[in-house]
Structure 1
Amino acid sequence: MSGPSKPAVSPQTLSAIETALVRGAEGEVDFSGGARAAYSSDSSNYRQVPLGVVFPRTAGDVSMTLQLASEYGVPVLARGAGTSLAGQACNEALILDMSRHMTMILDVDPDRRTARVQPGVVLDHLRAACAPYGLTFGPDPATHAWCTIGGMIGNNSCGTHSIKSGKTSDCVAELEVVLYGGERLRLGSYGDDQYRQAVLDGGTLARLLGSLREIGRRAEPHVRSRFPDLQRRVSGYNLDKLLPGQRLDIAKLLVGTESTCAVVTEAVVDLIPAFRKRRLVVLGYPSLEEAADAVPVLLRATDHLIALEGFDGALVDLLRVNKLHLDKLHLLPEGRGWLLAEIEGAAEEDLAVAERAILEAPASARPEARIYRSDAEMGGVWAMRESGLGATALRADGGHNYEGWEDAAVPPDQLGNYFRQLKLLQEEFGYRGAWYGHFGQGCVHTRNNFDLGSEAGLASYRNYVEQATDLVVGMGGSISGEHGDGQARGELLERMYGPEVVDLFRQVKAVFDPNGKMNPGKLVDPYPLDSNLRFGPAYARDVVLPSSKLQFVFDEDAGSLQHGAERCVGVGKCRSASGGVMCPSYRETGEERHSTRGRAKLLVEMFQGEVTPASWRNEDVRDALDLCLACKGCLTDCPTHVDMATYKAEFMSHFYRRRIRPRSMYALANLPWLARLATRAPRLANWMVADHPVGRTSRRVAGVTTSRPAPQFSSLAMRRELPRAGASQADVSVVIWPDTFTDAFNADAGRRLVGLFEEIGETVAVPRDWSCCGRTLYDAGMLGRAKRSLRRVLDVAAPWVALGVPIVVPEPSCLASFRDELPRLLADDDRVDAFRQLLMSPAEFLASRAVWERPEFQLASEAAPVTVHTHCHQRAGWGADAESTLLINLGYDVRVADAGCCGLAGSFGYTAAHAQVSRSIGEHQWLPALEDTLAGGTLVVDGFSCVLQATHLSGPQSTTLVDLVSSHVVRDER
């Protein structure tokens, strides 16, 4: 099957379309190389560079775009969050990104149990809007925190609870759409009377209904004989909605058509009652197959079952390899195959009966079982399940696993047999993969070690998926049970349905899109499944760009920044609007290029040089990285551990090599050295940056914002006041490292830390020789200088390292530099490991000394609440376990805030060009989330940037960990 010919669009045509859209559309238009690179792929194996990207604000913008496209004969594709796994969200077309502006929930009608929404509405936002009415939108895929309703309509998404809630096509009542050419229609379901009235009214609707009714008549015998009796049949068009003897449901027909027929601009969706009390029964079996064999019995065990998910031991192994949810693995019972049976009910008695029914269900293998009732424990188990795609993307050896056969569904009573036969087929081809998915509906996912980079590998891949298709069809299954067909499975539809049904699909598309310009080559008349591959034989691997060698050591990525960027598989978690840290700049701007995924794609495209230059001087990449706060949120939150902060520093070091940097970079990157001078005359230094004409002028000249006050230098630097620094002090028990922020700006806090340590009997040393971790140098890409600064750190620390004395670093960002950047910049220095092994945070040191057991410490009289806000770099590096342990043992009720990045991020918020974005992140994201977490009690905030941002934005009052711990020391008042 050859698929449609690729469009040949002249630059003049694109320029004319762009000009017309810029003049007439309310939304943005971006035909730049950077935008086209960011939208060149989705979460699949496929890559097609778009002609340009439009961000419509209104249905009128959509209509205008499709009218212009028709005039010039240009293909069009609408997409949501861009997480499609079959290639349906990328094409050589005009892309309409509906997720930036068309995000309104227009109405929630609790009486009719409906909601009217625009296509860019995020699923979790809709669910939150419906929650006060006790309602929800039923389908809930693992991407619920960032997937859009329009994308779910395009792919006919399902989700964890589809046993009870069904798939998206079951929940759509009406659609407002725009056809190719710009005509707008509202489509729903039509009984005989409505059908007749529409025909009498004439026009496009009459033509559509008449043609589709006739197709339904011709389709009836084929649907009866070739459509599997399976709820998870997502493959192909929903011809069953056109059959005679029932309402002609055009809205439901269009669900799952993947933008090949029309663009949705509004949807009326049906809501269901929200689930009530829940319980999670986790069952562990000796093997995946035995877990699958138990599925039919469990489905019959109780009517209270709302989800039956599963995964295997290989997935758990990959969670360990990729360091995902290590703190949650203890929740799983023994086994190598697990089922997660979630039940709900109105009363505890209902749940108890359902629990017993599941535990007592007959099975050939008796499972180990655990029952979880708390939200925290249930959420922990579900987090492991929802990490399936990210965990399976990378192999233990650093290679990639790929989608391509990850979405089939079979009748649940065939699931065990399916696993056994498919594993035999995998063994024949040498493929491996972990399994996870919706076992209760026979729909399972996996990613495999396909070789997509060679012609021989592609031939083997094609042979495998064709045989796997025949296996599934022979079991009465569907080759897609959730993710759609796109290009990955479009070519296989004829093996599933036969040529007559596929021709009927083609006829349906022609009714809506007679010119074949709506997302061509996907689902209907598809491109070959082994073409347009993102990492296919034509992909340039291990590209070395002209310039100096890499500064960082990318040991986990084969020594390559390109390999690091390739970690991104497009899951899209960086587009989440809440929870975690990643990605604060995307959450503020809504621009794909400001997400971790968008930046990673641009870096990958840079090494290819097709859409954006293969050069370290790449302006598209530089612009995308400009708003990266280097918060390191992606290092923890991204399921494949994309490390954009490091990639940014590396790229900037090459981009500005032998070039003049912006003034702000020099001013802020050199802050530690300037501070060193300023502490010699702190009054003069504070006057030079104060809020008066001279101070404002000096900051403006330096490119530093005047919209927030400059931090004040301490009257006496920490290292100058404290003479306890002799290298010969063999009795020293702890070194407190005078990092720049503590030394120059927060010396009082440093003195209090020294005092606390001395009160618990420690002999403290504070180095007097100046050195700096170089934290401020990384964003500017001044990595050569950072290396020299780090070597000086090792020189200064050498006497205490030789003695094995713990080194406590008060500032989290500086400790993170020592633990993260230092070993990757100075991999050739044999002093690094010994130094790093001695590093501790104040909380880690105090917890290691079990200070709560000392008689001089008085425990809290009652479990007062304490909320700990963790600095971004600490969260990415070592977390808040030590703080929690310390404060819990001091008698507090501790919670760790999940408020994201404060937005200041060191030098980022002080750069004039970034000041407003920094403030907006703090005001719109961080403070609301932080205040939502607080429930009275004490807020603990450490980290220089976080404290400053809270002060500048009039945030809640806080204390430091050291001050809170110090308040428990019983002191002699005499």
Structure 2
Amino acid sequence: MSTASPFVLLPSSHARWHEQFASASELEKQLRAKIRGEVRFDAASKASYSTDSSNYRHIPIGLVIPHDELDVINTVAICRSFNAPILSRGAGTSLAGQCCNAAVILDFSKYMNKMGEVDPVGRTVHVQPGIVLDRVREAAEKHELTFAPDPATHSRCTLGGMIGNNSCGVHALMGGKTVDNIESLDLLLYDGTRLTVGPTTAAELENHIAAGGRIGGIYAELKRLRDSYANLVRAEFPRIPRRVSGFNLDELLPENGFNVARALVGSEGTCAIVLGATLRLMKSPQCRTLVGIGFEDIFIAADHVPQLLTHKPIGLEGMDGHLLDSLRKKHKLEEDLSLLPEGRGFLLIEFGADSQADADQQAHSLAAALKDLPAKPTCRIYNSDEAHRVWLIRESGLGATAFVPGQSMHWEGWEDAAVDPTQEGSYLRAIDALMREFNYTSPMYGHFGQGCVHMRFNFDFESESGVLAFRQFIDRAADIVVAHGGSLSGEHGDGQARAALLPKMYGPELMQAFREFKQLWDPDHRLNPSNLIDPHQPHEDLRLGADYKPWQPKTHFAYAENDGSFAAATLRCVGVGACRKQDAGTMCPSFMATGEELYSTRGRAHLLWELMQGEVLPDQWKNEQVRESLDLCLSCKACKSECPTSVDMATYKAEFLAHHYEHASRPLFHYAFGRIDRWARLASIAPGLVNAINNAPVIGSLMKSVLHIHPKRTMPRFARPFTRERRKSQPVTGKDVFLWADTFNNYFHPSTMRAAYSVLTDAGFRVGLPSQHLCCGRPLYDFGMLDTAKNYLLKILDALAPQLAAGTPIVVLEPSCASVFRDELTNLLPNDPRAAKLRDQTLLLSEFLVKHAPNYRPPQIDKKIIVHGHCHHHATMSMKDEMQILRATGADVQLLDSGCCGMAGPFGFEEDKYKISQTLGERVLLPSVRNNKDAIIVSDGFSCQEQITQNTAARPQHFAEVLARQDHRKQIPPHPDHESAIH
């Protein structure tokens, strides 16, 4: 690689962070007096909105979360009086930096997220800018319609953001980019002007001009622009499916209907604020069939795209073997990867039709045609379930390749250029040669059917030479794209990443046209300034930079995958926003309940990252705003598995709290629930008496008040521990197994221990039990009591020395306890070989039966079974084995996609968290329980069971109790711990 570079090092974000808007305090004051929504100029809000999913960082002036259009109008008016810049923002998942700026940010996603009724005849719907794409698609599908563009972030991206970036996605091949699906836009300009724009006839254009005023002047200037530059636009705009870069001046041409709305799509909030949009919907193929094709490499796959397009698919995606390698190294979607055909370059081709037979016929026709290709690709046609799993592989692309253990971080920066599909193979080979010259690596994946390929490179953003090499690389990559007649952006927009490169693509005359277009809408350059026009350079304002020197504090956890660095761990979040989805999975429960960025995994990760910089957020570990944000984290650990980069917020929370309360007093609540094992052991001496005291009206209320427990919560009832019971005789012969007596099941729900003991002995195993009181310390992590937690673990390792040495399987019934042994244990004690042994020997009952008792047959059950999986079960283990055994009972088994139950250990008992807890419980779990009164409710987590019993009439059972229900029905009576009051 040549080291010569025409570029110089420019300021990083760290060199600029202290720059402040001089009148911020007065601006905030006036906004608070006028805005009904939320106005935030605090450090935490600035920190969490300082970046998006890009390489850039700009500390905003402040944040406004408007309730309605009037709030937006008033915000703009007040900002205008201070000459303050404004940035419109949706989900903040942009990859080019257009969603962060030193401006007042308008976040539309929390409140301005409504939509009107779908018009099935006109095939339109009107939406507010904060509406999430999937909500629109769900409503449209009721009429067998859809909004065609569907980027991988469809579960959380907003329509306002899609309009700003001109988003595309898989099915843009079927229905075009966002620009092709906009009927009209309702706009607010920085000067206060309001107007609705769309296609404009010649007569309408003249009428607008004749009316005069600000709006007349806009239309007059638009007409002048069209007439001045029409021929140049026709000649120089790339005629490819994915030209996203630059302003859409082609939409002003007469042959395109002088469509002002579509001319503004992709302007990235630099011209106008979108208050609403009327979307064009199209017929949605109700039956679909997916075909996977494997080629020798991704270049050969790209060569065949034009030929495969002749089969008229509705989606054609590509991905290379490097993407699959990354997923395997991260142990993500491993079972799904087996669905792909052989090869190192893959194309996914989807067909759609009104009947499944028609869609299948198209797929089989393609498969037959492949046999004649000299490349001899492999092929597989998927059923609907398999297709869903394969699409998950493709959608994981960005996050899966950003952070891979043992590799350098891979960054955006040159991630979505597009060419004509006929040029795709040539373009990829040229980029690959450039990559090798610079010693860069990157996966290749994306929308191959439209020539748009996504990449992430191992750029070095932490040294001067690395930053300048990055700048040189993208400059030369832009030359390659232009030489292939392509667009610098094919989906993600220009932003700060590419705007400075636009002259290469368009030349000086069209750049002047762009400048005039921006000027007529926003003459003062106050809307998302320094984007597209007069942009900052792509190697400026980097989130890292050559001066990146984060604080490196000593930590309790090892963070082995991050070289022992907490700062590096917080850097794992690349902003894709998967934690902002609200319709499926578990991550992130507190965001699902509040819709609040500060309470999302991403928001917390950004706060912790900023804390390590010591710039915006003061006081290091003692920072109260960071503590408040983490306080609403339910420690569900879902982010560890559902986040594409495996951000582990439960661990980060425990780490932070451990330092936050170091040498400081803790709330009494921490000791009451963090040390619950001690109180349970004491209460077990006389559980009936303790239960009577806890539930006595006066004493119980006083205790709840002192411990800040919500008055509607009922204290769990203690019971005589199973470890003190007389147990049935065991087999004389048989393999040994050790049954862990966790605090929750032993001291509160001994029926579960009793059932598990019976299942194991009946299966022919000799069951060992602890001879002393042991506890994994699960609640300690919720409060950051990590020194105590470490002592608990060391005591366990000493006590279980014989079992660890013998390799005896250790069966754990409470998923949260199993997750301590499978996760926190080795993170706290990385150098103790016994910790790794305990991790590897720990099994849930279902895992043990599948692995060690292959001939086990569960009882036959002629009832419906509803299963709610514990968060930690989903996150650190798998529900597969439990579901396999339950289905072997012959029952109708349904696994709820219920996410977090909302109780989450002590979380749901706290008075200030009760509302969130109930909101989460009522999202899926509690209604499902109430609607299945005759079903067996299976829930293995103690907290989950408490949420159910405290809100319904159901008596949930542990998996072990279900297996023991026939032989031991009389031995497992309902216990008083299930007689809690119902609220």
TM-score range, shorter chain: over 0.9
Structure 1: distance between partners of 2:930 and 2:428: 48
Are the counterparts in 1 of residues 865 and 938 from structure 2 also a CA contact under 8 Å? yes
Are the counterparts in 1 of residues 734 and 764 from structure 2 also a CA contact under 8 Å? no
Structure 2: distance between partners of 1:281 and 1:804: 45
Are the counterparts in 2 of residues 725 and 768 from structure 1 also a CA contact under 8 Å? no
Deviation per residue, 1:152-194 (Å, 9 max, x gap)? 0000000101111100011111111111133322222211221
Of residues 326, 330, 333, the one that matches 2:334 is 326
Residue 719 of structure 1: aligned partner? 723
1:471 is aligned with what amino acid?
I
Q: 1:9 to 1:449 in 2, by over 3 A?
A: closer
Structure 1: distance between partners of 2:258 and 2:955: 61
Further displaced range: 15-24 or 522-531:
15-24
Structure 2: distance between partners of 1:345 and 1:186: 36
Q: CA deviation at 1:286?
A: 0.8
State, as a whole percentage, how many aligned pairs show the same letter.
43
Structure 1: distance between partners of 2:804 and 2:505: 67
Are the counterparts in 1 of residues 897 and 924 from structure 2 also a CA contact under 8 Å? no
Structure 2: distance between partners of 1:763 and 1:9: 69
Deviation per residue, 1:739-761 (Å, 9 max, x gap)? 10011111122122222322233
Are the counterparts in 2 of residues 65 and 182 from structure 1 also a CA contact under 8 Å? no
Q: How does 1:219-618 map to 2 (within 5 A)?
A: 219-244=229-254, 247-300=257-310, 302-303=311-312, 305-359=313-367, 360-361=369-370, 362-374=372-384, 376-541=385-550, 543-545=551-553, 549-613=554-618, 615-618=620-623
2:398 is aligned with what amino acid?
L
Runs (5+) with no aligned partner, structure 1: none
Q: 1:926 to 1:204 in 2, by over 3 A?
A: farther
Residue 783 of structure 1: aligned partner? 786
Counterpart secondary structure, 2:187: strand
Residue 134 of structure 2: aligned partner? 124
Q: CA deviation at 1:704?
A: 2.3
Q: CA deviation at 1:440?
A: 0.5
Counterpart secondary structure, 1:840: strand
Residue 948 of structure 2: aligned partner? 950
Q: CA deviation at 1:74?
A: 0.8
Structure 2: distance between partners of 1:739 and 1:7: 49
**Pair 1:156-2:166 in alignment:** yes
1:623 is aligned with what amino acid?
E
Residue 696 of structure 1: aligned partner? 701
Q: CA deviation at 1:143?
A: 0.4
Residue 215 of structure 2: aligned partner? 205
Count of aligned positions:
958
Structure 2: distance between partners of 1:323 and 1:764: 32
Q: CA deviation at 1:892?
A: 4.2
Counterpart secondary structure, 2:142: helix
Q: CA deviation at 1:42?
A: 0.4
Of residues 768, 774, 780, the one that matches 1:765 is 768
Are the counterparts in 1 of residues 318 and 345 from structure 2 also a CA contact under 8 Å? yes
Deviation per residue, 1:691-739 (Å, 9 max, x gap)? 512111012112222221110111x11222247999xx99872222111
**Pair 1:681-2:686 in alignment:** yes
Are the counterparts in 2 of residues 69 and 181 from structure 1 also a CA contact under 8 Å? no
Structure 1: distance between partners of 2:18 and 2:878: 52
Q: 1:473 to 1:12 in 2, by over 3 A?
A: closer
Residue 3 of structure 2: aligned partner? none
Q: 1:225 to 1:732 in 2, by over 3 A?
A: closer
Counterpart secondary structure, 1:160: coil
Q: 1:636 to 1:928 in 2, by over 3 A?
A: farther
**Pair 1:870-2:874 in alignment:** no
2:776 is aligned with what amino acid?
C
Q: CA deviation at 1:958?
A: 3.8
Deviation per residue, 1:326-380 (Å, 9 max, x gap)? 1101100100000001001123443244123322055331110000122x11000
Structure 2: distance between partners of 1:429 and 1:776: 49
Of residues 25, 36, 48, the one that matches 2:35 is 25
Give the superposed CA RMSD: 2.4
Counterpart secondary structure, 1:215: helix
Structure 2: distance between partners of 1:396 and 1:822: 19
Q: CA deviation at 1:219?
A: 1.4
Q: How does 1:134-213 map to 2 (within 5 A)?
A: 134-213=144-223
2:817 is aligned with what amino acid?
C
Are the counterparts in 1 of residues 898 and 923 from structure 2 also a CA contact under 8 Å? no
**Pair 1:652-2:657 in alignment:** yes
Are the counterparts in 1 of residues 849 and 856 from structure 2 also a CA contact under 8 Å? no
Of residues 59, 81, 88, the one that matches 1:78 is 88
Runs (5+) with no aligned partner, structure 2: 1-6, 972-983
Q: How does 1:729-768 map to 2 (within 5 A)?
A: 733-768=736-771
Q: 1:318 to 1:70 in 2, by over 3 A?
A: same
Residue 133 of structure 1: aligned partner? 143
TM-score normalised by the chain length of structure 1: 0.95
1:882 is aligned with what amino acid?
D
1:118 is aligned with what amino acid?
Q
1:482 is aligned with what amino acid?
E
Deviation per residue, 1:188-245 (Å, 9 max, x gap)? 2211221222223332211111111111111112212210111200000000012246
Structure 1: distance between partners of 2:141 and 2:214: 38
Further displaced range: 147-156 or 671-680:
671-680
1:345 is aligned with what amino acid?
A
Structure 2: distance between partners of 1:853 and 1:702: 46
Are the counterparts in 2 of residues 25 and 61 from structure 1 also a CA contact under 8 Å? yes
Further displaced range: 840-849 or 701-710:
840-849
Q: 1:971 to 1:646 in 2, by over 3 A?
A: closer
Counterpart secondary structure, 1:504: helix
**Pair 1:831-2:838 in alignment:** no
Deviation per residue, 1:835-867 (Å, 9 max, x gap)? 33322211122223436556xx6545x7x6544
Structure 1: distance between partners of 2:22 and 2:540: 28
Q: CA deviation at 1:684?
A: 2.4
**Pair 1:820-2:823 in alignment:** yes
Further displaced range: 496-505 or 611-620:
611-620
Are the counterparts in 1 of residues 445 and 455 from structure 2 also a CA contact under 8 Å? yes
Q: CA deviation at 1:589?
A: 1.0
Structure 2: distance between partners of 1:176 and 1:427: 47
Q: CA deviation at 1:515?
A: 0.3
Structure 1: distance between partners of 2:483 and 2:20: 47
Are the counterparts in 2 of residues 63 and 183 from structure 1 also a CA contact under 8 Å? no
Counterpart secondary structure, 1:339: strand
Structure 2: distance between partners of 1:437 and 1:535: 27
Deviation per residue, 1:130-156 (Å, 9 max, x gap)? 121111111100000000000000000
1:466 is aligned with what amino acid?
D
Q: 1:508 to 1:780 in 2, by over 3 A?
A: same
Deviation per residue, 1:3-38 (Å, 9 max, x gap)? 999999866611111111111111101110000000
Structure 2: distance between partners of 1:121 and 1:71: 29
Structure 1: distance between partners of 2:933 and 2:691: 37
2:869 is aligned with what amino acid?
T
